[in-house]
Amino acid sequence: MTHHHVPSSLLFDYATGALSEGPALAVSTHLSYCGDCLAALGRLEEIGGVVLQSLAPAAVDSELLSRTLARLDEQGANERKPEPEDAANGTLPPVLRAHLGIGLKDARWRFAAPHVREARLTLGGPSHRASLLRVPAGRNVPRHTHRGVEYTVVLSGGFIDRGQAYRKGDFCAADPSVEHRPVAMDDAECLCLIVLDAPVLPMGRIGRLIAPFLR
Amino acid sequence: MNEDVLCGLVEAVARRRDKAAFARLFQHFAPRLTAFMQRRGADPAAAQDLAQDAMLTVWRKAPQFDRGRATASAWIFAIARNRRIDVLRRERRPDPEILIFMQETNAPSAEAEMERSAFQSRLHATLAQVPANQLDILKKAYFEDLSHSDIAQQLGLPLGTVKSRIRLALIRLRGLLDSEDTP
Ligand SMILES: [Zn+2]
């Protein structure tokens, strides 16, 4: 049961395909937990279906059908079902596992700030930065602002930010204007997905990347 | 072809690997998918390749189709959208079925199925009532996969105007927005 949802304009951009990969990953992670937003996406895709049906058919090569039929047998059927939750990956939804590559336990956790650990996720394009972040119970992320929008989805535990409580599955978008200092709840470590919708800038001679919340 | 017929064809492909059913789907959707890809900036040859690619994906993924969750045209729209992103932007978008992770009701009920096709036919009816300035923006978003801010830039409109026109169009199309809603 989630309480903080994806803003409708963002869900709309996801449905039309306009949202780039980083924010789309944050949205699809929330969708993995939230039946309401998944249903809302389904309705937006129904509009896509109506729009597709309303298009005037374009001319296609007369042999396109036979060329396609000839390729069917090599396709096979894709019966793959979502993998069940496995112990190695803990609580990660399938959409995230694909980007982590390995199990949660084996992920490369790096220092991000005192008490805070970060594991980078792989995205196809370079324009966003996506990470998993672990913050121990009761600890906080240093006060910071960002250059782009920062999207957060809680995977386990929870945090408090600007008077709001965010728990498993909740979605939080912080504009560049926001200066904040999220604090993990007292009862458990907080694990979350963080996506920054801004170019990643290298810092210093060794080319180390700036930790997301220190920018 | 109405949605029930189209859904039946996808199910025939899923259950019996029925090539005749696939051919009928192809004849209906390939020209529309080609038009769709052209509207999204592909040249005619590339648009046909993308349409073919989407239809081959339909063949492979048919076993995952579930008429309780989507009509055939909505399902194929989502496939075409994702394939285009995969091929042109080299980015991945999750398959719809992979999103069903924590949801309590995994099997859609008979009511959900009814609701789905009722919703679809209501959409067909109400789309005609959406005012032109809202409908244009809505179609631009779906055809050209432009974001809210891309559209604002392209039309020289304030972002707030684009947001409110899309929002009004969706409200007109009924129940598409949740009340709990931030920016
Ligand atoms: Zn939600």
Give me the interface pTM, i.e. the ipTM: 0.89
CB-CB under 8 Å, B173 with A60: no
Least confident of A24-28, A105-109, A129-133, B110-114: B110-114
Q: Which of A47, A78, A124 sits opposite B90 (nearest CB)?
A: A124
Which whole-number Å values give the CA distances from B109 to A84, B98, B113, B114, in the listed order? 22, 19, 7, 9
Q: What is the rounded CA–CA span in Å between residue A127 and residue A137?
A: 31
For the domain made up of B3-92, the CATH class stated in words is mainly alpha
Domain locations along chain A? 1-215
**Cα dihedral A138→A144→A145→A150 (10° resolution):** -40
- Percent of all residues in chain A with a pLDDT value above 70, rounded to a whole number: 80
Collect all residues of chain A within an 8 Å Cβ-Cβ radius of residue B74: 42, 45-46, 48-49
Confidence at residue A170, expressed as pLDDT on a 0 to 100 scale: 96
Confidence at residue A26, expressed as pLDDT on a 0 to 100 scale: 95
CB-CB under 8 Å, B34 with A60: yes
CB-CB under 8 Å, B60 with A58: no
CB-CB under 8 Å, A76 with B60: yes
Collect all residues of chain A within an 8 Å Cβ-Cβ radius of residue B105: 35
Confidence at residue A208, expressed as pLDDT on a 0 to 100 scale: 35
SS3 A153: strand
Report, in this order, helix, strand and coil percent for chain B, each rounded to 5.
Answer: 70, 0, 30
Q: What is the rounded CA–CA span in Å between residue B61 and residue A42?
A: 17
Please provide the CATH number assigned to the domain covering A1-215: 2.60.120.10
Q: What is the rounded CA–CA span in Å between residue B145 and residue A12?
A: 10
CB-CB under 8 Å, A67 with B23: no
Is a pLDDT exceeding 70 seen at residue A202?
no
* Average pLDDT rounded to a whole number, residues A21-48: 91
* Average pLDDT rounded to a whole number, residues A202-207: 32
- Determine how many CB atoms are found less than 10 A away from the CB of residue B46: 15
pLDDT digits (tens, 9 = 90+) for B57-67: 999 999 999 88
pLDDT digits (tens, 9 = 90+) for B67-101: 888 999 999 999 999 998 888 777 778 877 778 76
Q: Which of B59, B147, B175 sits opposite A18 (nearest CB)?
A: B147
pLDDT digits (tens, 9 = 90+) for A149-196: 889 999 999 999 989 999 999 999 988 777 788 899 999 999 999 998
* Average pLDDT rounded to a whole number, residues B23-51: 93
Confidence at residue A169, expressed as pLDDT on a 0 to 100 scale: 92
Fold of B99-181: Arc Repressor Mutant, subunit A (1.10.10)
Confidence at residue B181, expressed as pLDDT on a 0 to 100 scale: 43
CB-CB under 8 Å, A55 with B36: yes
Give residue B144's identity as a one-letter amino acid code: E
Contact B1, B28 (CB under 8 A): yes
Confidence at residue A87, expressed as pLDDT on a 0 to 100 scale: 39
Distance B103 CA to ligand 1 centre (A): 11
Domain locations along chain B? 3-92, 99-181
Collect all residues of chain A within an 8 Å Cβ-Cβ radius of residue B137: none
B3-92 shares its CATH topology with B99-181: no
Indicate the pLDDT class of residue A93, thresholds 50, 70 and 90. Answer: confident
Sign of CA dihedral A191, A195, A201, A207: positive
pLDDT digits (tens, 9 = 90+) for B135-164: 889 988 998 878 999 999 999 999 999 999
- Percent of all residues in chain B with a pLDDT value above 90, rounded to a whole number: 49
Which of B:89-148 have CB within 8 Å of A? Answer: 89-94, 97-105, 116, 119-120, 123-124, 127, 138-139, 141-143, 145-148
Q: Hey, is the C-beta of A58 within 8 angstroms of any chain B C-beta?
A: yes
Indicate the pLDDT class of residue B183, thresholds 50, 70 and 90. Answer: very low
SS3 B153: helix
CB-CB under 8 Å, A94 with B98: yes
Q: Hey, is the C-beta of B172 within 8 angstroms of any chain A C-beta?
A: no
